[in-house]
Amino acid sequence: ADWLIAFWHHPPYTKGSHDSDVEGQLIEMRKHIMPIMESAGVDLVLTGHSHIYERSMLMDGAYDTPTVAKGFILDDKDGDPKGEGSYKKSPGLNPHEGTIQVVAGHGGTGLMRRGTMPIMKRVLLEHGSLIVEIKGDRMDAIMLNKKGVVSDRFSIDKSKKVTVKRLAKPRELAPFVNLNWLSASATMDDTLTKKKSGVLTTVVPAIHLKGIKASISWDTKNTSWSIEPKTVAIPELESGKKTTNTFKASFKRVPFPLPKLKITLTDKDGKKYSIGAGLHVPAYRSIVIKRMKTAPVLDGTLAKNEIGGLDKQSDLVTYGGTGLAVRQTQFYLGYFKDFIYIGIENFDPNSMNLKTPKRKFDDGMMWADDSNEIFFHRKDSKDFLQLAINANGNLFDVSLGGPKGPAWNSNAKVISKRYKDKWITECFLPFSMFAKPLAAGDKFRFNLLRTSLKPEKEMSQWSHTNRISNHAKEFFGFATMGK
């Protein structure tokens, strides 16, 4: 018997970590490639990209958006020879006699599910592998999970000629609402981040849920926040259109812990579901790097330097955005002639007992029980620079935006000194470490982080990166070279 198996990356049908009813590349594969494949008599289509295991019924011709099952399912049984029976096709390659779609994106990374694709017969959030075996006029396939258990099984039998029938009411899987994926996005505008008063914008994405009503409100544990209106009803989600709303908001001091968007869904039976969504905050912090009148001294005390006239920054926030860090940090930035001066006070009653494990980087032992990381990013050049300093004064520097990577050398001078209740780092960063010389008025992205590992791990940031990554430069704060 002849068999045709096609495989590529982007799935034409999925509701896993990706949604083929929304994403352009997936829609294109369904609209343009599947008609070609099914005209050629394809038996099995294997795809990935979406981190899930999904397996369809025997189907043909479902090219529209959104995908529906009615009229496009040829056999709605489970396809299991030990269950409801194998799928049947005629010998050879025959146009439009049915295809099995398998999204096998379940090999090892995190698994996610947005909903239920109507043409699917099995949807599993299990890591595993798909094994396909062909013997003559029979194809057998199993999904073997990581424990060695067969979680799905289907077969295609091509031993006899068949007559194609399309089902007007195929048996579909029950709807699935993933509360995590149904969360909206919420952002603060620049006015709010700078002046602490402005607008919050929320977006509920296209979801295609029938009979579901929804409203959005705010869960604010930080009493310094004021948000109006408190609750807004949004249209039924079956239209597949995103919904945008704006709220007037203000906060005092720092915005953390951030308010959370709460989505309440009510189904046709009156059952309610609550979903939480995080708030993304554009860089709201800024610092002026002032010119120092006298040359600073690098001795780990801060005492001999004119830090009183510099822009002092504190109130570092936890990486998770839950509020101010327990172990606080304050720092000072200035510049003198051709170098930037940074003085950092890391408050920690355990500072005298901090240790450095023997893990070597290009600049020697680096990561310790407590360390700082400093980031610079300039849009007008390739500068995306990272410097890490621990309580022993060890330095690790890397160019994240240039070809040299860890081989790049900042030529920075660093000293760290420990005290009973804190450890202090001072460093000179030469202008020469930047691709373009710094000048008064220059503005660039800047961030300072701290990672404390004992007595328990705490990561804190000057400008919060919304839990995306410490390297998420679009959420860094702004530094301006003073005159």
* DSSP string of 20-38, one letter each residue: TTT-HHHHHIIIIIHHHHH
**Measured between alpha carbons, how far is 389 from 306 in angstroms, rounded to an integer?**
22
Task: Please tell me whether residues 471 and 328 are part of one structural domain.
Answer: yes
Domain boundary among 157, 173, 205: 157
Report d(CA 403, CA 380) in Å as an integer.
17
In a domain, 366, yes or no: yes
pLDDT of residue 181: 44
Same domain, 388 and 333: yes
**Using CA atoms, how far apart are residues 142 and 131, in angstroms rounded to an integer?**
5
Distance CA 122, CA 261 (A): 33
Rounded CA-CA distance 428/172 in Å is 66
Tell the burial category of 266 from Cβ atoms under 10 Å away from its Cβ (0-12, 13-18, 19+): middle
Least Cα distance to 98 among 170, 204, 185, 192 occurs for: 170
CATH number at residue 55: 3.60.21.10
- CB burial class (10 A; 0-12, 13-18, 19+) of residue 286? middle
Rg of the chain over Cα atoms, rounded to whole angstroms, equals 29
253 and 107 share a domain? no
CATH (domain of 299): 2.60.40.1190
| pLDDT given for residue 37 in this prediction | 98
- Picking from 99, 132, 111, 121, the residue whose alpha carbon sits closest to that of residue 12 is 99
The CATH number covering residue 262 comes to: 2.60.40
pLDDT tens-digit profile of 151-195? 999 999 999 999 999 999 999 886 665 544 455 677 788 778 778
Q: Do 294 and 145 belong to one domain?
A: no
Q: What is the pLDDT of residues 191-245, one digit of tens each?
A: 787 788 888 888 776 655 566 777 888 888 888 899 999 898 877 565 556 778 8
d(CA 177, CA 209): 9
The reply to whether 209 and 345 lie within a common domain is: no
Do 471 and 403 share a domain, yes or no? yes
In a domain, 354, yes or no: yes
Distance CA 344, CA 326 (A): 16
Among 25-29, 402-406, 428-432, name the one with the lowest average pLDDT: 402-406
User: Which of the listed residues 157, 172, 203 is the one where a domain comes to its end?
Assistant: 157
Given the structure tokens 């007992």, which residue do they identify? 353
Q: How many domains does the chain have?
A: 3
Side chain identity at residue 381, one-letter code: S
So what's the pLDDT on residue 51? Answer: 95
Average pLDDT over residues 339-348: 96
Q: In terms of DSSP bridges, do strands 138-145 and 58-59 run parallel, antiparallel, or are they unpaired?
A: unpaired
Predicted pLDDT of residue 180: 47
Give yes or no: residues 275 and 290 share one domain: no
Q: Are residues 142 and 264 in the same domain?
A: no
Q: Give a yes or no: residue 162 inside a domain.
A: no
Same domain, 336 and 246: no
Domain, as residue range, for 131: 5-157
| Contact present, 78 and 121 (Cβ < 8 Å) | yes
Domain-embedded: residue 262 = yes
pLDDT for position 238? 54
Cα 249 from Cα 243, distance rounded (Å): 19
Whether residue 429 sits in one domain with residue 294:
yes
The separation between the first and the last C-alpha atoms of the chain, rounded to the nearest angstrom, is: 80
Domain contains 176: no
Q: Are 62 and 69 in contact (CB under 8 A)?
A: yes
Write out the two tokens for 368.
Answer: 């310790």
Tokens of residue 479, six digits: 């530094």
Average pLDDT over residues 411-440: 94
Contact criterion met (CB below 8 Å) for 107 and 49: no
- Helix and strand element counts for the chain (H, E): 3, 35
Domain boundary among 109, 137, 157: 157
Residue 43 in any domain: the answer is yes
Q: Is residue 210 part of a domain?
A: yes
Q: How far apart are CA 91 and CA 139, in angstroms?
A: 12
Q: How far apart are CA 62 and CA 70, in angstroms?
A: 9
Q: pTM of the predicted model, to two decimals?
A: 0.58
Mean pLDDT of the chain: 88
| Residue 453 exposed, middle or buried by CB count within 10 Å (0-12, 13-18, 19+) | middle
Same domain, 459 and 388: yes
pLDDT above 80 for 363: no
Is residue 171 included in any domain, yes or no? no
pLDDT at 176: 64
Q: Is 100 in the same domain as 238? A: no
